[in-house]
Amino acid sequence: MAIRNDPGATIRAGETLATSGFDLRSLSVPAILLIAFVGLLAACMTGALNLYMQTVLMFMGINIIMSTSLNLINGNMGEFACGHAAFMAVGAYVSSLVTVILFTQSKFGAPLLPPELTLLAFPLALLIGSLAAALVGLLIAIPSFKTRGDYLAIITIAALYIVKSAIENIDAIGGARGFMGMRRVTNAMEQTLDLPWMVIWIFIGTVFTVWIIRRYVSSTYGKGVMAICQDEVAAEIMSVNTNHIKLVTFMLSSGLAGLAGGLFAHVLGYINPGSFTILKSTEALVMVYLGGMGSISGAVMSAMLFTLLLESLRFIIPWIDQLLHLIHVLPAGYEISQVWKWVLIPLLLILLMQFRPEGIMGNRELSDIFPRLRKFYKFK
Amino acid sequence: MLESLIQNVLNALQWGSYYSLIALGYCLVYGVLLLINFAHGDIFMVGAFIGLGVATFFLGNLGPELGLSGPVVLALTIPLTMILTAAVGVTLERIAYRPLRRKGAHRLYVVITALMCGLVLENGNLAILGASRRSFPQLIPTQVYDFGLFSVTNVKIAVILAAILVFIFLQFVVTKTKMGMAMRAISWDKFAIPLMGIPVDSIIVFTFILGSGFAGLAGVLFAMSYPVLEPYMGAMVGWKAFIAAVVGGIGDIRGAFAGGFLLGFVEIMVVAVFPSTMRDLISFTILLVILTWKPTGLFGMAKTTKI
């Protein structure tokens, strides 16, 4: 792993009012995000984006949150955790419970608050879900003080099974049958103010996730994460409080996964423990290693690519099926179904690994590949 | 009370045998390559299906012509399945893992590739053969030996014996033969060993042959005692067997063997006492406690790291 150049150390072209500490470049990224946000809203409101495209975009956002948060542990800290779906499950269940109990007529009783308050309470519910997921993250963080490498992989898998099994055994939240009622909460939000609220929340959540991870990793305190990745013992000797860093990193990562889970639950309107299996964790892992370990922009890009790939295969597979029937490769009775999706995706990934074993970006950010970009933005 | 306890112990021995057989394969590959071969559980599944294919081929297509009886078919099925499953494992190694190793890719990328290979195997099976559960033909008549206090079937005895024999065989191979010495040497220092004239690649292929072959054996035995086969049967068992191997202390054959039986015992006893839905919850909690108490597993050695 090459130690990344500090962007501040390069000669800054286009330095404007450096003396006053204000730099126009620091406005460029927020401006772009604002334009994107307004454009997205306009496209959703005018119907330029139909509901299906909106859903794909929303899943893209959720996947970005998942991949960047897992990237914090697996890429930046160099551990191998594969139980990310557990935190997603905790966040999904806790935040859905909060919103359903507060705002809908459910088996927990009548709604406690008027539906107009959903807009205020929804981010709070997401926050509570994230905090709960971060607390479950302690399950992994505390054993990780002593164990390393592959033993930690086991602990995370075990934690995943424990969480999933615990959810299945609690009858009050539906057990293995699942839990629903979140759809009415999102409907209440849209009745209060007619905007595509889930798109808005997911956009805010995604931007917040990328921002906070970037801030954390590039902070002085967060350099400890990279130090642990390079050599844990040496980091300990150089006065990095490794236990503390691990605790904070695991809790931050799992809390963000809980945020993704809460958003996921409210997009779908129905969750069951079967949605949070090892396959979900595998998806997150794939996104991280596809993007390149320790690269935030890589994780974002690979999450987008992965979501698009998953969705486009829905249309490509029937097309392949017709083509193969046309040239009489397949027997007439057999058709290629959507099951092949999960054969093709791993195959594509195996091939990608053969040709580019370091992932798309490979531990570099966009600004490392295109250094001239630094002229135009300042993004901490 | 005592009767049900002995019966449960026997069930646990049988259940633990499968875990042990699969954990041994995990352990061999991990010991040599330091690679978590996540596809191993699916190789076990492939082994069960290959066994089904071979058995039905001999019974259905050749049986009437040659007049093969059930036990003869079984005697043909087991070695053939082991050979074919070993071929599947070696194929994976050749097309997926070796090029990455040659390129010197990060270890975790190889692990992800292994995960993907497992997904390809199980979903490919689902896509090609369909989701219908297949049943394994009854090759040998089930005999029940009644000992008064408890009763065992011949399959149960065979499974437990097979696990113990495989363990003894592997222990012999690893500790007493030149091949085993080379394996241990590679896991000790993979940079110096090629310089000593040891063909690393062929040793690794041999490791995969051993591990996958015994996964195939486990598949056939599993199919004989629980004759319902489905594409996802390997995933869960594989994950659990890997956890068992780690609790035993990964990279140590005794550890994998003991860990498999330990997990089998824990699961069967949990089901005997608590409702069966609590199985995963309690057994994994126990394993986590064990790992927190002994971070390197039961037989594992603490490693010192040089800086």
The amino acid sitting at A314 is R
Q: Tally A–B CB contacts below 8 A.
A: 126
- Which of B27, B106, B287 has the most A C-beta neighbours within 10 Å, making it the best mutation to test the interface with A? B106
pLDDT for B136: 82
Structure token pair of residue A223: 């350099």
d(CA B44, CA B49): 9
Contact A158 B111 (CB under 8 A): no
Average pLDDT, chain A: 85
Within-domain flag for B140: yes
Cβ A254 vs Cβ A137: under 8 Å: yes
d(CA B28, CA B24): 6
For the residues of B157-211, what is the DSSP string, one character each?
A: HHHHHHHHHHHHHHHHHHHHSHHHHHHHHHHH-TTTTGGGT--HHHHHHHHHHHH
Contact B36 A153 (CB under 8 A): yes
Considering the entire predicted model, what is its pTM? 0.87
A335: left (phi > 0), else alpha (psi -120 to 50), else beta?
Answer: beta
C-alpha to C-alpha distances, B74 to A296, B212, B297, nearest whole angstrom: 54, 19, 37
What is the total count of domains within chain B? 1
Residue A2 at interface with chain B, using a CB cutoff of 8 Å? no
Buried residues in B96-120 as b, exposed as e (16+ CB within 10 A): bbeebbeeebbebbbbbbbbbbbbb
Contact B280 A161 (CB under 8 A): yes
Task: Say whether pLDDT at B304 is over 60.
Answer: yes
Contact B280 A155 (CB under 8 A): no
Contacts of B109 (CB under 8 A, 6+ apart): A289, A353, A357, A358, A359, B100
pLDDT band at A10; cut points 50, 70, 90? very low
The amino acid sitting at A246 is K
A181: left (phi > 0), else alpha (psi -120 to 50), else beta?
Answer: left
pLDDT for B217: 94
Within-domain flag for B210: yes
Residue of B nearest to A154 (CA): B243
Contact A80 B246 (CB under 8 A): no
pLDDT for A354: 85
Within-domain flag for B305: no
B151-153 and B144-146 strand pairing: antiparallel
C-alpha to C-alpha distances, A107 to A110, A179, B178, nearest whole angstrom: 8, 11, 67
Task: Say whether pLDDT at B70 is over 50.
Answer: yes
Most confident range (mean pLDDT) of A181-190, B34-43, B136-145 is B34-43
Residue of A nearest to B30 (CA): A150
Within-domain flag for B291: no
Residue of B nearest to A164 (CA): B281
Which chain B residues have a beta carbon less than 8 Å from that of A159? Answer: 288
**Which domain does B88 fall in, by range?**
25-230
Residue A151 at interface with chain B, using a CB cutoff of 8 Å? yes
The amino acid sitting at A26 is S
Which chain B residues have a beta carbon less than 8 Å from that of A74? Answer: 108
A197-245 per-position pLDDT tens digit: 889 999 999 999 999 999 999 899 989 999 999 888 889 899 989 999 9
pLDDT for A357: 79
Within-domain flag for B185: yes
Contact A159 B106 (CB under 8 A): no
Within-domain flag for B267: no
Please return the burial class of A320, using the count of CB atoms within 10 Å of its CB with bins 0-12, 13-18 and 19+: middle
Contacts of A45 (CB under 8 A, 6+ apart): A195, A196
Contact B115 A282 (CB under 8 A): yes
Within-domain flag for B2: no
Strand partners, A179: A271
Strands (E) located in A166-238: 179-180
Within-domain flag for B297: no
